[in-house]
Amino acid sequence: MKRIIDVPGKKLIIFYRIIVVLLLLLVVLLIAGSLYGLLRSRDSGPLFRIGGRGQGSAAGSGIAVPDAFVVSDGTNAYSVFSGIGTLRIQNTGKSQASGNEKPAVIIISISFPYKSDDRSFTEELASNLGKFRSVATNYFANLPRDSLSKLDEEQAKAEILRQYNALLRLGRIEALYFGEFVVME
């Protein structure tokens, strides 16, 4: 009895071989990467970063801190924490004239430097993000409407900084910056 075996064409055999080789390369790459990850020390920084503006981890600490820019003075690495973002605050403070006025809107972005090598303080900053937003929102929302046009920015920074530091236990914020400060009446 004769058997007839249909042999696929040479092109199909070459295609199958290429696929098998690519799968083998992928398996070898995954095994090598896994071994490298297991043998690498835990405190080493990332090999490379994808994306821009330094988003992701602050100074290689592995802690997700939004919009952190790393700056060094030679001895300490500092990052600028701007994760609070841009706040749009509706001022509900009472006016002296007590007329029927529309409330003012304040647009502000707040940032501050911190030592990025202090991992526990960095975690505390990230965990207090909502409280930082609430402090700034409450401060500007309750200001008297008449005082908005002649607001002392340094006094506002000092009061918000005092309230921020009252929330923190593991470190202190030394300076506060308003990247954007607009009052729309």
The CATH number that applies at residue 145 is: 3.30.479
In a domain, 169, yes or no: yes
pTM here is 0.58
The number of distinct structural domains making up the chain is: 1
The answer to whether residues 80 and 68 touch, using CB atoms and an 8 Å cutoff, is yes
In a domain, 15, yes or no: no
User: Is the residue at 30 inside a domain?
Assistant: no
**Half-sphere exposure of residue 183: CA atoms within 13 angstroms, side-chain side:** 18
**Mean pLDDT over residues 41-60, rounded?**
59
Structural domain harbouring 113: 56-184
* 28 within domain boundaries: no
For residue 46, being part of any structural domain is answered with no
In a domain, 126, yes or no: yes
Q: How do residues 65-124 score in pLDDT, each as one tens digit?
A: 444 455 555 566 788 888 888 999 888 766 655 555 677 888 999 999 888 788 888 889
